[in-house]
Amino acid sequence: MRERFTGKTVVLGITGSIAAYKACEIASRLVELGASVIPAMTRSAREMVGPASLEAITGNRVVLEMFEPLPNPEIEHIAVARRADLFLIAPATANILAKAAQGIADDWLSTTLLATRAPLLFAPAMNTQMWLHPATQANVALLKARGAAFVGPGEGRLACGEQGPGRLIETLPILEAAAAALTPNKDLVGRSVLISSGANHEPIDPVRFIGNASSGRMGRALALEALCRGAKVCVVAGPSDVAPPHAAEVVRVRTAAEMRDAVLERFDGCDIFFSAAAVADYRMAAVTQIKVKRSGPITLELVPNPDIVAEAARRRRSGQVVAGFAAETENVPENGVAKLAAKGLDFILANRVGGADCAIGAEESEAWLIRANGAPESLGRACKGGIARRLLDAAADMLDRNVLPQ
Ligand code: CTP
């Protein structure tokens, strides 16, 4: 996500919810990702959390009042309104939503919100009844209609003791939504992207399974990139270390057979299918229902699993893009070309695995993008975010030109 935040100016507006203390963590993560953060607190937010921590975390003075003497003109409200790349209001109370919707400007934050043309992202936090109140819902609808983005609220037990929607959503979904708000390229709006991700676990007996080391990071990077560019995203997720982005629909599966069914059920409705999962090639011929007891050497009888991406490619209608991956230890581009042809894909990302600096799950690897009927294009050593961008560029280009090999 770093590339979306580096060098960007984010105004973090903090309003008077109990969750205001969580703004410190949000600010800290934004700074870590390379953003310059201007914290602004309303009067009620200051009842909840002191400005000193935010100043220490961001290295910037917290903007508090409209007419306070400013240490530098850089934080004067019109200057900030012009300079900001994003206004993130987290937590956002019912009051700030009402003021933003109605154009009320009675303090620094609400005035600056009115003056800016930067994208707005609200992370609401309030009592459930306040959130569900028709007045709040009407304000949210109005702000959305004007292009503002929302993330959350989450559901759960609130500080007031009530159970329901109104909790400030976790920091990671807020950062993901901020990344999307900071992405001007929305070339995938109206497109539906299906992604298989992670590993499979093929059971041996009730407590053991055959698995692999897929981290799910490639699937997550693809999902995030597609969401940032405006697509609707569904991730069919096998077991993995990382969770798909919050804004993606997630279908959890375990075995290759479950993954196949979940993918094919959704495949007809998608524009792009990325088969990023490390699908288990084999499963047990028969899973024993009782735990296998330790004795001498044993032999497991395995049978092949269906090839999910090849099946999807055979089924695809004109206008759909199907892409796969080839993680190889040797002859990487050559094996990639052969796999692309064997599975009938539109393109494949071949990357080197194995060795000290190309371990499975490593941040970067040597990669090639191979299109049907094209020569392998070296991407050099690329990170998963960079690979995801190139793959979605390639897919968007195919959809635009509708030049699909049949
Ligand atoms: N794949 C799939 N179904 C399978 C096996 C693989 O959909 N049963 C997909 C993977 O998601 C990936 C591509 O096919 O996009 C290549 O996977 P890979 O494991 O590299 O290829 P295999 O066909 O399994 O070949 P091998 O393991 O022999 O290299």
- Reported as a single tens digit per residue, the pLDDT across 106-137 is 999 999 999 999 999 999 999 999 999 999 99
Query: Whose structure tokens read 């990639």?
Result: 336
3-state secondary structure labels for all residues of 133-171: CHHHHHHHHHHHHCCCEECCCEEEECCCCCEEEEECCCH
Enumerate residues 6+ apart whose C-beta is below 8 A from 163.
128, 155, 156, 157
Nearest atom in ligand 1 to 308's CA: 7
Ligand 1 centroid vs 98 CA: distance in angstroms? 52
- Domain containing 150 — which CATH number? 3.40.50.1950
The string of DSSP letters for 113-130 reads: HHH--S-EEEEE---HHH
Q: What is the DSSP letter of 194?
A: E
What is the best residue among 307, 332, 351, 365 to mutate for testing ligand 1's pocket, by most ligand atoms within 8 Å of CB? 307
Ligand 1 centroid vs 75 CA: distance in angstroms? 54
Ligand 1 centroid vs 200 CA: distance in angstroms? 12
Same domain, yes or no: 132 and 45 = yes
Considering 128, 154, 181, which residue would you say is the last residue of a domain?
Answer: 181
User: pLDDT by residue (tens digit) across 319-347?
Assistant: 999 999 999 999 999 999 999 999 999 99
Stated pTM of the model: 0.93
- Inside any domain, residue 298: yes
- Inside any domain, residue 213: yes
Nearest atom in ligand 1 to 325's CA: 15
CA 316, 319, 321 angle in degrees (round to 5)? Answer: 65
Q: Which position among 212, 331, 351, 402 bears the catalytic label?
A: 212
Residue from 152, 155, 159, 217 nearest 178 by CA: 152
- Domain containing 326 — which CATH number? 3.40.50.10300
Residue 358 has pLDDT above 70, yes or no: no
- Higher pLDDT among residues 74 and 100, named by residue: 100
The answer to whether 212 is a known catalytic residue is yes
Ligand 1 centroid vs 304 CA: distance in angstroms? 12
Q: What is the distance of C-alpha 402 from the center of its chain? A: 27
User: pLDDT by residue (tens digit) across 163-177?
Assistant: 889 999 999 999 999
For ligand 1, atom 3, name the residue with the nearest CA: 307
Contact assessment for residue 393 and residue 376, using Cβ atoms and an 8 Å cutoff: no
Count structural domains, the chain: 2
Average pLDDT over residues 28-55: 94
How far apart (Å, rounded) are the C-alpha atoms in residues 5 and 225?
14
Q: Which residues line ligand 1 (CB under 6 A)?
A: 256, 275, 277, 279, 281, 305, 307-309, 324-327, 339
Predicted local distance difference test score (pLDDT) of residue 78: 83
Ligand 1 centroid vs 279 CA: distance in angstroms? 6
User: pLDDT by residue (tens digit) across 249-304?
Assistant: 999 999 999 999 999 999 999 999 999 999 999 999 999 999 988 888 999 999 99
Nearest atom in ligand 1 to 342's CA: 23
Same domain, yes or no: 201 and 177 = no
Give the rounded percent of residues in the chain with a pLDDT score beyond 90: 82
Domain with 106, as residue range(s), is 2-181
How far apart (Å, rounded) are the C-alpha atoms in residues 48 and 55?
15
Same domain, yes or no: 94 and 224 = no
Same domain, yes or no: 111 and 212 = no
Q: How confident is the model at residue 351 (pLDDT cuts 50, 70, 90)?
A: very high
